[in-house]
A and B are shown apart, each in its own frame.
Chain A
Amino acid sequence: MTDIRLFGYSDPLAAKLTQTVDFKISAEGTTEASVEIVRLVHGDYNPKGPGFIEEPVGTDLPKSIAVKRQYTQNGSFARVGNERGLLSPKGSFSVFAFIWPSLPGKVRQTIMGSWNVNESKGYALGINPQGKLEFWVGDGKNVDQVTADVPLISKVWVLAGVSYELATGEARLMQINVQNAWNSHIGPVTPYDHNCHIVETLRVKPVASSGDFYLAGAQEHNSERGCFVSLLYNGKIDRSGIVERALSAADMATIAQGSVPFEALAYWDTTVGYTNYGIGNVICDTGPHKLNAIGVNRPVRALTGWNWTGRDDSFRLNPDQYGGVAFHDDAMTDCKWETSISWIPSEQLRSGVYALKVTAGDQVDRIPVIIRPNKPRARIAVQMSTFTYLAYANEHLSFEAQIAQAIVAHTPVISANDIEYEKLQEFGLSTYDHHTDGAGVCYSSWKRPIINIRPGYRMAGMTFPWALPADLSLLWWLEHAGFDYDLITDHDVHQEGLDALSPYKAIINVTHPEYYSETMLDATESYLTSGGRILYIGGNGYYWVTSTCQDDPSCIEVRKLDAGSRAWQAEAGEGYLASTGERSGLWRSRGRAPQKLVGLGFTAEGMDRSEAFERMPDSFHKRAAWIFEGIGEEELIGDFGLAQGGAAGIELDRYDLALGTPPNTLLLASSCGHTDNYPLVSEEITYAFPGRGGSQDPQVRGDMIYFNTPNDGAVFAAGSIAWSQALPYHGGENNVGTIMRNVLNAFKKDGKLPGSGYTGEEKLWR
């Protein structure tokens, strides 16, 4: 009997009350599963906190549903509809493409063609398992091919082309070097011969296959799974096309110089469609039939092309040199599973984090969904960092990142579920991972099972809950302390801007609001200047320039480059988002350091232990002393917590006037005594020298600050991921909670804030 396995996701990940939520489930070893909706109250098993808590929610959903195995198409490629058979020429033809193969060898890959694996019909230009360019054709019985006599070199541009003469069966395979000083991973000084010109007579004439034409894949069928795409390609493809005659060697040489064959049956011009705001998922055919190629699993665009000459670092400056489209055999942004059950949360439901609890045998899965009210109800909103949740979704760090153990300073603690996901490799990667060819992953979506948003999940590298499961500690405490709140999400603020924030007197940022879009920054700034109040109680916030794909809000995009704690580095010239046209990387590098908004910005991270905050002189200033009512003058704040034993730790943010902290900011408290596993962040390192760890560098600390903004607005910030995970300690009654109570009670009221009348300086202490 097969072991039972359950996987699932909700679409959308966050919904308003009365909006339909579709749960998509795949099951093995069972055809039936029991389901119920639960409210997720606390998501950490740590015995020093309240433990794992969920509450059943009454719904009219059936108690049990039919489930089945659902399959996932991995790999990115582009599909061209071939219903009219135009791309299966009946006579002579030629195909060509500029390519930058990133992983030639080991397995067969298809660059372009109509090849059908099961039928052995059609044709394809591809790469054989020996890493050589190959053109193959099939008639349903036999297959013949012509193969290059020089290997393709990884990450070097060539024009790959073949012309086929039907009458004679002659196939002319050409590989033409288009490498320059800028466009490839090795330069012209390497004495490799990238050119090849082979002419052979094929014994087989291609017979039209059924199905579609693909860039970067071939069609296949399996009786259980149905149609899918295989023989996936790793690397970039620039402009490509097909011509209904056998091109001569001279014709190919002309194409290799950049000319477009005027009689092309199809010409996929990857540079068409750029605007100042990016480019979408459609690769335009500028030929007579407009046979556009549609990207699946988000091929990466806005990349340098075969003719890149390095002067322009963005497609916005020179789209003609940005024809590169990268395909990866492990890219996956949408499982496209059928809906197993839908739920419409009733209008009476409280805003919160819910889950569909799916049970079969001894297996249980909880598929989270964040529920927002359909109209604002509370005076406080918690902005759940859905961008961050996606950025870390299904990260592979403990299994694949050499440096991970050095960063976290301990051995990872994995679970059975981690091993299950590792074995399957079906549910895609995070923006902390690399594709099989070493390229960083820039897209992540919610349309797939995501292990690390499950309640109770501990991220293996850290050994404690991270992001959504950690944020449940904050929500648990808000309920414990009696504060009404609504949940909103990064996606809401990204979509609606200030309108998502303005109904609320106070907004709470959660543990790790790391990924932010320009719209979100603008909304946050407008909210603060118009009297809004923010509790920024996380670490490393407003850090990466991020956006969602214009045609798919479920999918975020980020490019990591130049500076910052980054899991990968974008290739030269590839730092701009295809989804918006803006330069990605750190917001700090674009003039919007987080200090300018919330007074604090990233300064150090470490995962070995956390510390406490100590009061600073400003905490006795009358403008802010009310925040410390109930706290002793020398009392340590948060010398406890569920995230490594303190409220100050994991990732820390620092007050810094030089980076834009408002000069009217009061420095209320700081942490100190961090270990040397908390080094100063790399964006601060201009020269490398010893002594940048927590025991030596004074910039390695978490700060707690307060400042007023125009129109009775304010920011209270405690720059530490561990802050919220200290709240549930001692049954939720502790001095971190005391500070939170003081701030929230003041922030949720209309009118002037306590202490705001004290605008002088020297006379206002104690």
Chain B
Amino acid sequence: MADKYVIMRLKDGEEYYRIMAVSGVRGLPPRVVDDREYYDLNDAYHAVFILRINDLMES
């Protein structure tokens, strides 16, 4: 599970997101991947998609 992307909703009930990645270690919280904030969930999904493409190209 290490480094799998998740989207963090920054406030309940609001469209306000940031991309994080889980640690893969129980008890160790996810890390922030970058500081960009997204105001639409689809934009956040798309950002994760781009990150995965970049990861694939670098692998």
A interface residues with partner B (beta carbon < 8 Å): 45, 51-52, 330, 396, 398-402, 405, 410-416, 419, 422-425, 436, 456, 458, 460, 463
Known A-B contacts: A411-B44, A419-B29. Give 4 more (CB < 8 A): A413-B41, A425-B27, A436-B26, A456-B13
Chain A proximity of B41: nearest CB distance (Å): 7
When the two chains form their complex, are residues B27 and A415 in contact, meaning their CB atoms are under 8 A apart? no
Taken residue by residue from 37 to 55, chain B's Cβ proximity to chain A (1 for < 8 Å, 0 otherwise) reads as 0000100110010000000
Residues 1-57 of B contacting A (Cβ, < 8 Å): 1, 4-10, 12-14, 17, 20, 22, 26-30, 41, 44-45, 48
Out of B1, B12, B41, which one reaches A415, CB within 8 Å? B12
In the complex, A330→B5 CA distance in Å? 25
Taking CB atoms, residues of chain A closer than 8 Å to B1 are 399-402
Taking CB atoms, residues of chain A closer than 8 Å to B17 are 413
When the two chains form their complex, are residues B6 and A422 in contact, meaning their CB atoms are under 8 A apart? no
When the two chains form their complex, are residues A415 and B22 in contact, meaning their CB atoms are under 8 A apart? no
Majority-rule SS of A interface residues:
loop
Taking CB atoms, residues of chain A closer than 8 Å to B45 are 410-411
When the two chains form their complex, are residues A413 and B6 in contact, meaning their CB atoms are under 8 A apart? yes
In the complex, A413→B5 CA distance in Å? 10
When the two chains form their complex, are residues A463 and B27 in contact, meaning their CB atoms are under 8 A apart? no
Q: A45-B13, A456-B12, A456-B13 are in contact. Are A411 and B29 (CB under 8 A)?
A: no
For residue B7, which residue of chain A has the nearest CB? A413
Taking CB atoms, residues of chain B closer than 8 Å to A415 are 8-9, 12
In the complex, A187→B27 CA distance in Å? 34
Chain A proximity of B27: nearest CB distance (Å): 5
Taking CB atoms, residues of chain B closer than 8 Å to A402 are 1
Tally the A-B contacts, defined by beta carbons under 8 Å: 64
Among A330, A405, A411, chain B packs the most CB atoms within 10 A around the CB of: A411
When the two chains form their complex, are residues B5 and A423 in contact, meaning their CB atoms are under 8 A apart? no
In the complex, A415→B17 CA distance in Å? 10
In the complex, A424→B27 CA distance in Å? 6
Taking CB atoms, residues of chain B closer than 8 Å to A414 are 6-9, 20, 30
Taking CB atoms, residues of chain B closer than 8 Å to A436 are 26
Out of A51, A401, A411, which one reaches B6, CB within 8 Å? A411
Chain A proximity of B36: nearest CB distance (Å): 15
Taking CB atoms, residues of chain B closer than 8 Å to A463 are 41
Taking CB atoms, residues of chain A closer than 8 Å to B27 are 422-425
Taking CB atoms, residues of chain B closer than 8 Å to A411 are 5-7, 44-45, 48
Chain B proximity of A430: nearest CB distance (Å): 14
Chain B proximity of A235: nearest CB distance (Å): 18
In the complex, A330→B6 CA distance in Å? 24
Taking CB atoms, residues of chain A closer than 8 Å to B48 are 411
Chain A proximity of B55: nearest CB distance (Å): 14
Taking CB atoms, residues of chain B closer than 8 Å to A419 are 8, 29-30
Q: A399-B1, A402-B1, A423-B29 are in contact. Are A412 and B12 (CB under 8 A)?
A: no
In the complex, A400→B6 CA distance in Å? 12
In the complex, A51→B12 CA distance in Å? 11
Taking CB atoms, residues of chain A closer than 8 Å to B7 are 411-414
Chain B proximity of A590: nearest CB distance (Å): 34
Taking CB atoms, residues of chain B closer than 8 Å to A400 are 1, 26
Taking CB atoms, residues of chain A closer than 8 Å to B4 are 405
In the complex, A45→B16 CA distance in Å? 13
For residue A433, which residue of chain B has the nearest CB? B26
Chain B proximity of A91: nearest CB distance (Å): 44
In the complex, A741→B10 CA distance in Å? 38
Taking CB atoms, residues of chain A closer than 8 Å to B30 are 399, 414, 419, 422
Chain B proximity of A328: nearest CB distance (Å): 13
In the complex, A415→B14 CA distance in Å? 11
In the complex, A402→B10 CA distance in Å? 24
Chain A proximity of B2: nearest CB distance (Å): 11
For residue B22, which residue of chain A has the nearest CB? A399
Chain B proximity of A668: nearest CB distance (Å): 34
Chain A proximity of B1: nearest CB distance (Å): 6
Chain B proximity of A423: nearest CB distance (Å): 5
In the complex, A110→B29 CA distance in Å? 29
In the complex, A51→B14 CA distance in Å? 11
When the two chains form their complex, are residues B9 and A413 in contact, meaning their CB atoms are under 8 A apart? yes
Q: A399-B1, A413-B6 are in contact. Are A45 and B12 (CB under 8 A)?
A: yes
For residue B27, which residue of chain A has the nearest CB? A425
Chain B proximity of A435: nearest CB distance (Å): 10
Q: A402-B1, A411-B48, A413-B7 are in contact. Are A52 and B22 (CB under 8 A)?
A: no
In the complex, A458→B6 CA distance in Å? 14
Taking CB atoms, residues of chain B closer than 8 Å to A413 are 6-9, 17, 41, 44
For residue B52, which residue of chain A has the nearest CB? A411
Sorted nearest first, the 7 A-B pairs with minimum C-beta distance are: A45-B13, A425-B27, A413-B7, A412-B6, A411-B48, A419-B29, A423-B29
Taking CB atoms, residues of chain A closer than 8 Å to B22 are 398-399
When the two chains form their complex, are residues A422 and B29 in contact, meaning their CB atoms are under 8 A apart? yes
Sample (17) of A-B pairs whose CB atoms are under 8 Å apart = A45-B13, A52-B13, A399-B22, A399-B30, A401-B1, A412-B6, A413-B7, A413-B9, A414-B9, A415-B9, A415-B12, A419-B8, A419-B30, A422-B29, A423-B29, A425-B27, A460-B6
Chain A proximity of B23: nearest CB distance (Å): 8
For residue A429, which residue of chain B has the nearest CB? B26
When the two chains form their complex, are residues B29 and A398 in contact, meaning their CB atoms are under 8 A apart? no
Taking CB atoms, residues of chain B closer than 8 Å to A396 are 26
Taking CB atoms, residues of chain A closer than 8 Å to B8 are 413-416, 419
In the complex, A410→B20 CA distance in Å? 14
When the two chains form their complex, are residues A398 and B9 in contact, meaning their CB atoms are under 8 A apart? no
For residue A420, which residue of chain B has the nearest CB? B29
Chain B proximity of A185: nearest CB distance (Å): 22
Taking CB atoms, residues of chain A closer than 8 Å to B9 are 413-415, 458
For residue A52, which residue of chain B has the nearest CB? B13
Chain B proximity of A394: nearest CB distance (Å): 12
When the two chains form their complex, are residues A425 and B26 in contact, meaning their CB atoms are under 8 A apart? yes
For residue A45, which residue of chain B has the nearest CB? B13
For residue A457, which residue of chain B has the nearest CB? B12
Chain A proximity of B30: nearest CB distance (Å): 7
Taking CB atoms, residues of chain A closer than 8 Å to B28 are 423
Taking CB atoms, residues of chain B closer than 8 Å to A460 are 6
In the complex, A411→B28 CA distance in Å? 19
In the complex, A358→B8 CA distance in Å? 24
In the complex, A458→B11 CA distance in Å? 12
In the complex, A433→B26 CA distance in Å? 12
In the complex, A396→B4 CA distance in Å? 14
In the complex, A52→B11 CA distance in Å? 14
